[in-house]
DNA sequence: CATGAATGAGCGTTCATTCAT
DNA sequence: CATGAATGAACGCTCATTCAT
């Protein structure tokens, strides 16, 4: 087989294997959690011996870090792509929310959920790195919310926490057959949006 | 020792011991997670040998179930007590939210966070029971939201999911020195409330 | 069975078990070396599972430390007892040497050889402690040699190193059927002793 | 590249590589011991992958055997060269002792110490071969001692064991900054020599 | 000559759990 | 009520070694 054909659109085998491991780990971490997943579980999922994993990753933590990083990359990419064509600040935030929900619940379920649900303090040596990844990703939402044309009395801080909480909690209730992510995002954003446009306050 | 003295203000010893174990387990589950906490950790925290725990609980899962149950009971009690004196539906929801946040972040941190953060699927044999406890507790919020005088076009479903998500995500960002739970609750409820009073008008 | 009989001259079972482990470890460390002996080897030798060892010792290093300490205690005890009845400095040194050889080759072969042969640098966390134990034991010989009536031109330093080296190297060549330790000790001490009494020097 | 250039002062590459491996192994075996050194450690030290070692050596034991052999060769060469110019039997023994100490502590530290310190019984399949190498080397000292003009009552056997023990134990106490090997050897030999010249007279 | 990728056994250690005392 | 002592399985990880490329 000519090398050209092999190279056409396919990663070389070794990288493939690393990816298989990452996929399996993401799936298992998502399903059972980091601590409840063993190296043997991951190895079994890709038909490998547990010791062989260490050729590709130097520790269990490193796998988590890789899944985390990849999760942030994927969800971030989706959000960026969704935001880019929009110009209206609210439309941008809604698009970002839909993309976030979509990644978390559908497109990149395993990777994204691991990143959202695994608390940095759970992983012994890499807590700080996980926190950084989270912070960098959440900065996207911070910027989108900073761009909203809001009356000065609106607390952008709690608006952000509310939206992110609402979005991230979706992993608890979201079911594949339910409303599409865009529908959910629209509902969430509408709720937040009223406040701005009418400016009224409750005592 | 006369039984009177022992009974004065104190539970009988065995119940006392069980409670100590539960407290220690709640604290440790909250700090490190269920899977990252060992029976030895719990035993050490109450100055006991790990084998002795089995006099009080038949398995690690049973401890989790007990913490979960107690967490739901405590947070539920707080919410009920907070709601009771209020009559206005929005005020009731705000009071409930404040109580929920208060339990989760201050008053019953350990128990409440275990119940909120430990996903039913993480615990092998008791997933269904955990799910039931969660459902029963969340029903309180469902009822409160059902009582809101909302225009018919408002989707109570997403309003509930949004509020609960926002509230429960607080464990990620809430810090002891920050705004008091009532302040946060007021901010969240105000955001949701706008929608009602001004009617829905999306572009 | 009355408790008195059980207690007569026999250690309680638990201490017995620890001692069995220590004996087995000493034997195996002596035979194959510390690194070439596994916890499973030790466990098997006392008909236990490897995990069960950890009820008695918290790590493999701790076992080595215990064997080392016990080795030093036993050999030291033998040396002290042998030296005590003697008054002549040379006789005391010879008695000490015989006791040392005896412990190392016959009476406490396993424990003593582990202490003599295992280099402190071989055991990761306890190197300093092992070194201290060795130093304390060797101090006995230092004192004995300091008490010798030697002409001022004799270097006690090298005399000590020579004797200790000669004694400790015995583990390489000593065979159970050979000369008794007292014979070897007498031969060694005689060789060293000439120098003193005649005071002659070679250019 | 012309072979001439390659050959100028340098061994052909493959032999070079083998020697690098041997050097690295000697150093690591000397520092940490045979069992505490892994093939990966050796490979890393010469910037190779552990699997690649097997092109040069068929097993870890074979490396040890090679180091051992080379250690014996080097120390033997040094001893022979030192002995050769001397004619007086005592001077020859002293020269040999100095050369032995010098190899062990300075000139060929790594190789020589591995050969002296690694006990044949520690290496699973090659114990007999290691024993032979040691025996062949020690024969040099046996011959030197057999040539000494000693009174018939002197036990050449224990004289040899004492000297070899004293010399070989030096790895425990010798420090680079201390007396030069020749000084130590002179001190040792003087001590042994008294006996001869004055005749034996034990009380 | 050497690598990349793996194997299979084994490492020291920890786990939840049991049970006679 | 609790301990002391253990079990048996599993943990994350490292080992010497193999072999197609």
State the pLDDT at residue C80.
98
Strand E within 7 Å of which CB atoms in C 30-59?
A: 37-41, 50-51, 53-54, 58-59
Tallying the residues shown for chain D, one arrives at 203
Q: Which segments of A84-126 does DSSP mark as H helices, in order?
A: 89-102, 109-117
Query: How close A168 gets to chain B, by Cα (Å)?
Result: 7
Which pLDDT score, from 0 to 100, does residue B98 have? Answer: 97
Q: Out of C35, C170, C193, name the one closest to residue D165 (CB).
A: C170
Would you say B148 and B93 are in contact if contact means Cβ atoms under 8 Å apart?
yes
- For the whole prediction, is pTM greater than 0.95? no
User: Could you tell me how far CA C15 lies from the centroid of its own chain?
Assistant: 22
Contact of B91 with B48, CB cutoff 8 Å: no
pLDDT one-digit tens code per residue, B85-122: 999 999 999 999 999 999 999 999 999 999 999 999 88
**A152/C195 Cα distance (integer angstroms):** 101
pLDDT the model gives residue A150: 87
Residues of D in contact with C35 (CB under 8 A): 33, 35-36
Residues of B in contact with A29 (CB under 8 A): none
Nearest to A162 among B166, B200, B202 (CB): B166
Mean pLDDT of chain B: 89
pLDDT (0 to 100) of residue D72: 96
The residue of chain D nearest to residue C203, with distances taken between CA atoms, is D190
SS (H, E, C) chain B: CCHHHHHCCCCCHHHHHHHHHHHHHHHHHHHHCCCCCCHHHHHHHCCCCHHHHHHHCCCHHHHHHHHHHHHHHHHHHHHHHHHCCCCCHHHHHHHHHHHHHHHHHHHCHHHHHHHHHCCHHHCCCCHHHHHHHHHHHHHHHHHHHHCCCCCCCCCHHHHHHHHHHHHHCHHHHCCCCCCCHHHHHHHHHHHHHHHHHHCCCCC
Average of pLDDT values for D100-122? 95
Q: Quick check: B50 and B43 in contact, CB under 8 A? A: yes
> How many Cβ atoms are within 10 Å of C167's Cβ, its own excluded?
26
D60-196 fold? Tetracycline Repressor; domain 2 (1.10.357)
Q: Contact A149/A86 with Cβ under 8 angstroms?
A: no
So what's the pLDDT on residue A94? Answer: 97
3-state secondary structure chain C: CCHHHHHCCCCCHHHHHHHHHHHHHHHHHHHHCCCCCCHHHHHHHCCCCHHHHHHHCCCHHHHHHHHHHHHHHHHHHHHHHHHCCCCCHHHHHHHHHHHHHHHHHHHCHHHHHHHHHCCHHHCCCCHHHHHHHHHHHHHHHHHHHHCCCCCCCCCHHHHHHHHHHHHHCHHHHCCCCCCCHHHHHHHHHHHHHHHHHHCCCCC
Name the more confident of C122 and B15.
Answer: C122
Judge whether C119 is closer than 8 Å to chain D, CB to CB: yes
Chain A residues touching residue B188 (CB < 8 angstroms): 158, 162
pLDDT of residue D8: 44
Cβ atoms B90, B185 nearer than 8 A: no
Is D14 (CB) below 7 Å from strand E? yes
- B48 Cβ contacts chain F strand, under 7 Å: yes
End-to-end CA distance of chain B: 77
CA distance D65 to D72: 10
For residue B23, what pLDDT is reported?
95
Quote the pLDDT of residue C191. 86
Cα–Cα dist A27/B4, whole Å: 58
Closest-CA residue in chain A for B119? A172
Cβ atoms of A98 and A36 within 8 Å: the answer is: no
Structure confidence at residue A192 (pLDDT): 86
Residue A5 has pLDDT above 90, yes or no: no
The answer, yes or no, to whether residue A200 has pLDDT greater than 90, is: no
More confident call, C12 vs B135:
B135
d(CA C104, CA D173): 20
Per-residue pLDDT of D68-109, as tens digits, reads 999 999 999 999 999 999 999 999 999 999 999 999 999 999
Question: What's phi and psi for D76, nearest 5 deg?
Answer: -65, -40
Among partner residues B32, B191, B201, which is closest to A192 by beta-carbon distance? B191
Protein residue nearest nucleotide F4, by CA to C1':
C14
CA atoms of C51 and C56, how far apart (whole Å):
10
pLDDT of residue A78: 97
Q: Where are the domains of chain C?
A: 60-196
Farthest CA pair distance, chain C: 75
Residues ≥6 apart with Cβ < 8 Å to C134: C72, C115, C120
Average pLDDT over residues A174-203: 77
Q: Yes or no: say if D121 and D131 are a contact pair by the CB < 8 Å rule.
A: no
Can you give the pLDDT at residue D12?
54
pLDDT computed for residue B16 by the predictor:
83
pLDDT by residue (tens digit) across B41-90? 999 999 999 999 999 999 999 999 999 999 999 999 999 999 999 999 99
Q: Nearest residue on chain C to D37, judged by CA atoms? A: C35
Q: Which of A122, A125, A161 to mutate to probe the B interface, most B CBs <10 Å?
A: A161
Per-residue pLDDT of D130-181, as tens digits, reads 999 999 999 999 999 999 998 887 889 999 999 999 999 999 999 988 999 9
Q: Strand E: which residues 110-169 of D lie within 7 A (CB)?
A: none
Ranges of H-type helices in chain D: 3-7, 13-32, 39-45, 53-56, 60-83, 89-102, 109-117, 127-146, 156-168, 170-173, 181-198
What pLDDT was estimated at residue C16? 84
Which nucleotide's C1' sits nearest to the alpha carbon of C62? E12
Cβ-nearest to B187 among A155, A186, A200? A155
| Residues written for chain C | 203
pLDDT at B13: 60
Indicate the average pLDDT of chain A. 89
Tell me the C-alpha distance between D121 and C31, whole Å.
8
Higher-confidence position of A135 and A155: A135
Give the burial string for C133-151 (b: 16+ CB within 10 Å, else e). bbeebeebbeebbeebebe
DSSP secondary structure code for residue A105 in this structure: I
> Average of pLDDT values for A81-110?
97
Tell me what the mean pLDDT of segment B157-164 comes to. Answer: 95
Whether C200 sits inside 8 A of D198 (CB atoms) is: yes
Over pLDDT 90: what percentage of chain B? 78
Asked if the model's pLDDT at residue B133 lies above 60, the reply is: yes
More confident site: B176 or D8 = B176
Q: Cβ separation of D158 and C122 shorter than 8 Å? A: no
Cβ of C36 within 8 Å of Cβ of D159? The answer is: no
Q: Contact B198/A201, CB-based, under 8 Å?
A: no
Res D4 pLDDT > 90: no
Confidence category of residue B40, pLDDT binned at 50, 70, 90: very high
**More confidently predicted of A29 and C197:** A29
Q: Note whether C touches D: 3 CB pairs or more under 8 A.
A: yes
pLDDT of residue D166: 97
- Quick one: which of B146, B137, B149 has its CA closest to B70? B137
A147 touches strand F (CB under 7 A): no
Which residues numbered 10-39 in B keep a CB inside 8 Å of some CB on A?
31-33, 35-36
Residues of chain C scoring pLDDT < 50 = 1-11, 195-196, 198-203
Q: How confident is the model at residue B12 (pLDDT cuts 50, 70, 90)?
A: low
Neighbouring C-beta atoms of residue D35, cutoff 10 Å: 18
């Amino acid at each position: 087989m000519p090398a050209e054909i092999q190279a056409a659109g396919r990663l070389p085998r070794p990288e493939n294997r690393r990816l298989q491991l990452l996929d399996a780990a993401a799936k298992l971490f998502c399903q059972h959690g980091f601590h409840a997943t063993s190296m043997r579980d991951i190895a079994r999922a890709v038909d490998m011996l547990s010791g062989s994993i260490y050729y590709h990753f130097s520790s269990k933590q490193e796998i988590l870090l890789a899944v985390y990083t990849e999760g942030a990359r994927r969800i971030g990419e989706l959000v960026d792509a969704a935001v880019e064509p929009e110009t209206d600040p609210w439309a941008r935030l809604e698009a970002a929310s839909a993309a976030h929900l979509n990644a978390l619940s559908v497109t990149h379920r395993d990777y994204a959920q691991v990143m959202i649900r695994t608390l940095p303090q759970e992983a012994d040596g890499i807590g700080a790195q996980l926190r950084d990844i989270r912070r960098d990703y959440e900065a996207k939402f911070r910027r989108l919310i900073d761009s909203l044309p809001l009356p000065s009395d609106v607390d952008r801080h709690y608006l952000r926490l509310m939206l992110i909480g609402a979005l991230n909690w979706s992993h608890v209730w979201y079911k594949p057959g339910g409303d599409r992510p865009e529908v959910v995002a629209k509902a969430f954003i509408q709720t937040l949006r009223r406040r701005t446009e009418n400016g009224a306050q409750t005592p």
